[in-house]
Amino acid sequence: MRTRFAPSPTGYLHVGGARTALFCYLQARHEDGAFILRIEDTDLERSTPESVQAILDGMEWMGLDYDEGPFYQTQRFDRYAEVVQQLLDESRAYHCYCSKERIEAIREEQMKAGLKPRYDGRCRDGAEPVEGVKPVVRFRNPAGGTVVFDDLVRGRITISNDELDDLVIARPDGSPTYNFTVVVDDVDMAISLVIRGDDHINNTPRQINIYKALGADLPEFAHVPMILGDDGARLSKRHGAVSVLQYRDDGYLPQALVNYLVRLGWSHGDQEIFSLEEMIRLFDIRDVNRKASAFNTEKLDWLNQHYMRELPAAEVAEHLRRHFEAEVIEAANGPPLEDLVAVQADRVKTLKEMAAQSRAFYEDFEAFDETAAKKHLRPVTEAPLQAVLAKLEGLDEWNVGQLDGVVRSAAAELDVGMGKIAQPLRVALTGTAISPSIDKTLWLVGRDRSLERIRRAVEFVQARAAALG
| Enzyme catalytic residues | 237
**Using rule CB under 6 A, residue 439 touches ligand GLU:** no
Candidates 6-14, 251-259, 424-432, 444-452: pick the segment binding ligand GLU (CB under 6 A). Answer: 6-14
* In the complex, least distance from residue 182 CB atom to ligand GLU, rounded to whole angstroms: 5
**Using rule CB under 6 A, residue 288 touches ligand GLU:** no
**Using rule CB under 6 A, residue 74 touches ligand GLU:** no
Q: What angle do CA 307, 313, 316 make, to 5 degrees?
A: 55
Amino acid at 307: Y
Nearer to ligand GLU, 47 or 304 (CB): 47
* In the complex, least distance from residue 11 CB atom to ligand GLU, rounded to whole angstroms: 10
**Using rule CB under 6 A, residue 151 touches ligand GLU:** no
What residues contact residue 144 under an 8 Å CB cut-off, 6+ apart? 161, 162
Candidates 4-12, 142-150, 252-260, 338-346: pick the segment binding ligand GLU (CB under 6 A). Answer: 4-12
**Using rule CB under 6 A, residue 39 touches ligand GLU:** no
* In the complex, least distance from residue 186 CB atom to ligand GLU, rounded to whole angstroms: 8
Q: Using alpha carbons, list the distances in angstroms from residue 307 to 273, 284, 375, 378.
A: 9, 24, 36, 40
Given a contact cutoff of 8 angstroms between Cβ atoms, the answer to whether 252 and 351 are in contact is: yes
* In the complex, least distance from residue 184 CB atom to ligand GLU, rounded to whole angstroms: 12
Sheet harboring 2-5: ordered strands across?
Answer: 68-72, 34-39, 2-5, 193-197, 220-224
Interface with ligand GLU (CB under 6 A), residue from 2, 3, 6, 80:
6
* In the complex, least distance from residue 40 CB atom to ligand GLU, rounded to whole angstroms: 4
Spatial separation of the C-alpha atoms in residues 55 and 243, rounded to whole Å: 10
**Using rule CB under 6 A, residue 453 touches ligand GLU:** no
Interface with ligand GLU (CB under 6 A), residue from 79, 124, 200, 299:
200
**Using rule CB under 6 A, residue 299 touches ligand GLU:** no
* In the complex, least distance from residue 228 CB atom to ligand GLU, rounded to whole angstroms: 18
Candidates 1-9, 48-56, 220-228, 402-410: pick the segment binding ligand GLU (CB under 6 A). Answer: 1-9
**Using rule CB under 6 A, residue 347 touches ligand GLU:** no
Three state DSSP letters for the chain = CEEEECCCCCCCCEHHHHHHHHHHHHHHHHCCCEEEEEECCCCCCCCCHHHHHHHHHHHHHHCCCCCEEEEEHHHHHHHHHHHHHHHHHCCCEEEECCCHHHHHHHHHHHHHCCCCCCCCCCCCCCCCCCCCCCCEEEECCCCCCEEEEEECCCEEEEEEHHHCCCCEEECCCCCECHHHHHHHHHHHCCCCEEEEEHHHCCHHHHHHHHHHHCCCCCCEEEEECCEECCCCCECCHHHCCCEHHHHHHCCCCHHHHHHHHHCCCCCCCCCCCCCHHHHHHHCCHHHCCCCCEECCHHHHHHHHHHHHHHCCHHHHHHHHHHHHHHCCCCHHHCCCHHHHHHHHCCCCCCHHHHHHCCHHHCCCCCCCCHHHHHHHCCHHHHHHHHHHHHHHHCCCCCCHHHHHHHHHHHHHHHCCCHHHHHHHHHHHHHCCCCCCCHHHHHHHHCHHHHHHHHHHHHHHHHHHHHHHC
Nearer to ligand GLU, 25 or 252 (CB): 25
For the segment 166-185, give every residue that binds ligand GLU (CB under 6 A). 182
Candidates 2-10, 233-241, 259-267, 295-303: pick the segment binding ligand GLU (CB under 6 A). Answer: 2-10
Nearer to ligand GLU, 7 or 265 (CB): 7
**Using rule CB under 6 A, residue 64 touches ligand GLU:** no
* In the complex, least distance from residue 208 CB atom to ligand GLU, rounded to whole angstroms: 13
* In the complex, least distance from residue 110 CB atom to ligand GLU, rounded to whole angstroms: 27
**Using rule CB under 6 A, residue 40 touches ligand GLU:** yes
Interface with ligand GLU (CB under 6 A), residue from 7, 16, 58, 384:
7
Nearer to ligand GLU, 55 or 407 (CB): 55
Interface map 381-400 toward ligand GLU (x if CB under 6 A): --------------------
Interface with ligand GLU (CB under 6 A), residue from 1, 8, 214, 315:
8
Nearer to ligand GLU, 206 or 352 (CB): 206
Interface with ligand GLU (CB under 6 A), residue from 196, 206, 223, 248:
196
- What is the contact surface with ligand GLU in residues (CB under 6 A)? 6-8, 40, 182, 196, 200
